[in-house]
Amino acid sequence: MVGPFAALDAQNRALQKEAFLSLWSAQGATVIFVTHDLAEAILLGDRVMLMSHRPGRVVADVPIDIPRPKPAEAQFENARFLEYRSQLTGLLRTK
């Protein structure tokens, strides 16, 4: 896994994601977050843009329509979350 939270253990990674979401909600700023973790992208984002390997081009732009706040448990329990993960995984395999 590569991304802003990759060097953290699972517990600290979860805490940092929650802290990030809290700050982001309070600030209302636009954030571009780069990660290789699909679950993280769905959990933290309002849209996921997939890039090709080489050359690096956007090959898909998928709006994430899961209401906020998105609890971390959503990645295991929310049917819509699982649908997005399946859709994005499929897109990665075909691009």
User: Three-state secondary structure along 29-63?
Assistant: CCCCCCCCCHHHHHHHCCEEEEECCCCCCEEEEEE
Whether 62 is covered by a domain: the verdict is yes
Whether 76 is covered by a domain: the verdict is yes
Whether 5 is covered by a domain: the verdict is no
Whether 20 is covered by a domain: the verdict is yes
Q: What angle do CA 7, 56, 17 make, to 5 degrees?
A: 30
Contact between 35 and 3 (Cβ < 8 Å): yes
Whether 3 is covered by a domain: the verdict is no
Whether 90 is covered by a domain: the verdict is yes
HSE at residue 95, side-chain half, CA atoms within 13 A, is 19
Boundaries of domain holding 58: 10-94
**What total number of domains does the chain contain?**
1
What pLDDT, on the 0 to 100 scale, is given for residue 19? 86
Location of structure tokens 């600290």: 12
Whether 1 is covered by a domain: the verdict is no
Which 3 state secondary structure label does DSSP give 7? coil
Whether 59 is covered by a domain: the verdict is yes
Q: What digits encode the pLDDT tens for the residues 24-54?
A: 888 888 888 888 889 889 988 899 999 988 8
What integer is the mean pLDDT of 43-68? 90
